[in-house]
A and B are shown apart, each in its own frame.
Chain A
Amino acid sequence: MRIYNPTFGLAAAGGESMALKPVNWKSDAIALFSNSKPNARELLDGIRSKLGAFRPTENINFVAKNSASQPAPKDLIEEVAAKYRGALLAIAD
């Protein structure tokens, strides 16, 4: 018996994976990106403190999207990509 695959789909344009340059976590500018859920800022605060034990923190900045339930706007993602070499995301509750 031949059946159609219910998961089949065509790859969307722009979905190609990209080669990434390595991030130097000891010195590069880092974004701490909050999903705007309660306690996300506290979680990222703790990570910033831990990073401060072995690197400068002046170029580690907090970034947040406007709403926990909405995706981050494209211009915000582009801004983060332009200003930072790495980003740590709080993506759960």
Chain B
Amino acid sequence: MKDIAEQEVIDIGDLDIDGFNAFALEQGWSDGMPLYPPTEAKVAQFVDTVRGDNRPFAPVPPRQVVPTLQALAANAVMAGCKPEYFPVVTAALRGLLDPDYNLHGTLATTHSCAPMVMVSGPARKELAINCGSNCFGQGWQANATIGRAVGLILLNVAGAKPGEMDRSTQGNPAKYTFCFGENEEENPWTPYHVRRGFAPTDSVVTVMSGEGPHNLNDHGSTTGDGLLTTFAGSMATPGANTIYGKGPCVVIIGPEHAATLARDGYTIESIQEELFKRSRVHASRISKENQETYVSTGHMPDGDWFAIARSPQDIHITVAGGPGKHSAFIPSFGGTTVASVRIAR
């Protein structure tokens, strides 16, 4: 008889839901929350939703196995996805497999990063992905389970077992799930996926290995300039990986802040320029030892200032959320990219 790890289909007898969950925990398949059993019938339903997309998957690091659609679907079933979410999950995995995403590094690191999954285009509405109030929070099945399915795939297919291959010092709640939609309806600028070259009618998943969202609270500023002062001041953090890892970050502007910035004539490009200039960290806020390390590894300051990104274009900007004077900053792992993939449907 084959070892369970080598078997594509496993007969678990007449286990009930509690018995299955005990079995899954024993196998190391769980993120700690209850799972649905990935029965043959259920997995077949999920696989049917991606029949038109025959592109092979690259081996998934660090474990370096080529996943089958059935194994990926099993994780989506266990996460509680509906079948129609599965093309979003597979598109997210294709983004994670972009070599510049650096999946191995982002999974094995001691940093707390987790995959941020953002959905743009018509799929947001068709799948009821929350783009408005509490978009990073609880209450929406699509947001909760798509992000969770990605996390389970990284655990079970990629092999990112906490404390073993996943060496994160503290982890991050986003490792359970971190999926939201762009609020295109209240975005005064061009939708994010269209700026990246996709058609407005395309549905697109964008992934980045990031921390959880850091809140940018500004109830007082009534001008775009004031808002950018708050945003940049909050982004200028000496403890972020990007202070020396130099990589992308995401700024998710709340609709009310976005309206103020647009009213004052700011474009995405001018916001990127301003944030890049103003979010630099003064050397006085960085320890001498760290400054020496950064310089010795090629992360040179500009005078007395350390930039948090390589260029203004590293600061990715869009709109999400509902009413209120809040936005969010999502720093990345550093050595990674923001990858966007069209959802095949």
- Distance in Å: Cβ of B181 to nearest Cβ of chain A: 26
By a CB distance below 8 angstroms, the chain B residues around A1 are: 11-15, 20, 37, 39
B68 within 8 A of partner (CB): yes
Identify the stretch in A7-15, A17-25, A43-51 within 8 Å (CB) of chain B at 4 or more residues.
A7-15
Do A5 and B74 have beta carbons less than 8 Å apart? yes
Do A5 and B7 have beta carbons less than 8 Å apart? yes
A27-77: which have CB < 8 Å to B?
Answer: 36, 38, 66-71
By a CB distance below 8 angstroms, the chain A residues around B73 are: 4
By a CB distance below 8 angstroms, the chain A residues around B66 are: 9-12
CA distance A1 to B39 in the complex (A): 7
B144 within 8 A of partner (CB): no
Do A70 and B102 have beta carbons less than 8 Å apart? yes
Number of interface residues of B (CB under 8 A): 53
CA distance A70 to B247 in the complex (A): 12
A82 within 8 A of partner (CB): no
From B11, which residue of chain A is reached at the shortest CB distance? A2
By a CB distance below 8 angstroms, the chain A residues around B78 are: 6
Q: How large is the interface on A (under 10, 10 to 19, 20 to 34, 35 or more residues)?
A: 20 to 34
- Distance in Å: Cβ of B45 to nearest Cβ of chain A: 12
By a CB distance below 8 angstroms, the chain B residues around A12 are: 59, 64-66
Do A3 and B74 have beta carbons less than 8 Å apart? yes
Do B4 and A70 have beta carbons less than 8 Å apart? no
Do B9 and A2 have beta carbons less than 8 Å apart? yes
- Distance in Å: Cβ of B144 to nearest Cβ of chain A: 18
By a CB distance below 8 angstroms, the chain B residues around A8 are: 5-8, 67-68, 70-71, 74
Of A1, A8, A67, A68, chain B has the most CB atoms within 10 Å of the CB of A8
CB-CB under 8 A for A6 and B68, given A1-B14, A1-B15, A12-B59: no
Encode B271-297 as 1/0 by CB contact (under 8 A) with A. 000000000000000000100010001
Do B68 and A10 have beta carbons less than 8 Å apart? yes
CA distance A16 to B11 in the complex (A): 29
By a CB distance below 8 angstroms, the chain B residues around A2 are: 9-12, 39-40
CB-CB under 8 A for A7 and B157, given A1-B37, A36-B297: yes
CB-CB under 8 A for A3 and B64, given A8-B7, A69-B105, A70-B335: no
By a CB distance below 8 angstroms, the chain B residues around A9 are: 60, 63, 65-68, 71, 157
- Distance in Å: Cβ of A63 to nearest Cβ of chain B: 15
Encode A75-91 as 1/0 by CB contact (under 8 A) with B. 00000000000000000
By a CB distance below 8 angstroms, the chain A residues around B104 are: 71
Q: Which of A4, A38, A68, A69 contacts B38 (CB 8 A)?
A: A4
Do A6 and B38 have beta carbons less than 8 Å apart? yes
Do B102 and A71 have beta carbons less than 8 Å apart? yes
B110 within 8 A of partner (CB): yes
Encode B96-133 as 1/0 by CB contact (under 8 A) with A. 00000010110001100000000000000000000000
B43 within 8 A of partner (CB): yes
By a CB distance below 8 angstroms, the chain A residues around B70 are: 4, 8
Q: Which of A6, A15, A38 contacts B71 (CB 8 A)?
A: A6
Q: Which of A6, A15, A69 contacts B156 (CB 8 A)?
A: A6
Known: A9-B157, A69-B335. 9 other contacts (CB 8 A): A1-B13, A4-B39, A6-B74, A8-B67, A11-B66, A12-B59, A69-B105, A70-B102, A71-B102
Residues on A facing B (Cβ under 8 Å):
1-12, 15, 36, 38, 66-71, 92-93
What are 23 sample pairs from A and B whose C-beta atoms fall under 8 A apart? A1-B11, A2-B11, A3-B38, A4-B74, A5-B8, A5-B10, A5-B71, A6-B71, A7-B5, A7-B27, A8-B7, A8-B67, A8-B71, A9-B157, A10-B65, A11-B65, A12-B59, A67-B245, A68-B245, A69-B105, A69-B241, A69-B335, A71-B105
